[in-house]
Amino acid sequence: MENQSEVEEITNSDCNVKFHNFVAKVDDLSISCHVIKMENSLYLWVGDYNENTMNDLSFAIKSPYEKEPLTTKIMGSIANEFSTSLAKRLSKKLSIAVYVSFNVQVDNLSLHAIERKLQDEFNSHPEIF
């Protein structure tokens, strides 16, 4: 005999994951960018439009004990600090954990141009965050 007091309640929760993809043109290079915004974190992949590789990944998170977010390089060359630096700045600005995978070989001038393109995209699409 089934117990009437044992009622199983199923609730559906809304998915808090958002996706945003765009292509940025920097000089002769097309940069593909993929953003995944989760409940308390953000993942940003930046790479060559023609090549879908992930050779680099950095992580940053705010700490209640430190002024600046804590960062670490998960994979890739530690000599390439762009992903770590970008993850740190985004984590500080958004107050969430941030993963950045930067997979483009460019010079310093192009790095600044790419960062400006990212900032422009983020400003024109605040719904990402």
Domain ranges of the chain: 18-128
| pLDDT value, residue 9 | 64
Q: What phi, psi does 44 have (nearest 5°)?
A: -125, 120
Q: Average pLDDT for residues 81-98, to the nearest whole number?
A: 94
Q: Is it the case that residue 28 has pLDDT exceeding 80?
A: yes
The span from the CA of 99 to the CA of 110, in Å, is 21
Cβ(38)–Cβ(20) under 8 Å? no
Structure tokens at 53: 């590789």
> Do 23 and 32 touch, CB atoms closer than 8 A?
yes
Architecture of domain 18-128: 2-Layer Sandwich (3.30)
Instruction: Give residue-wise pLDDT tens across range 37-75.
Output: 999 999 999 998 888 899 999 999 999 999 999 999 999
Pick from 82, 87, 79: which is nearest to 109 by CA?
82
Q: What percent of the chain has pLDDT over 90?
A: 63
- What confidence tier does 12 reach under pLDDT thresholds 50, 70, 90? low
Report pTM: 0.84
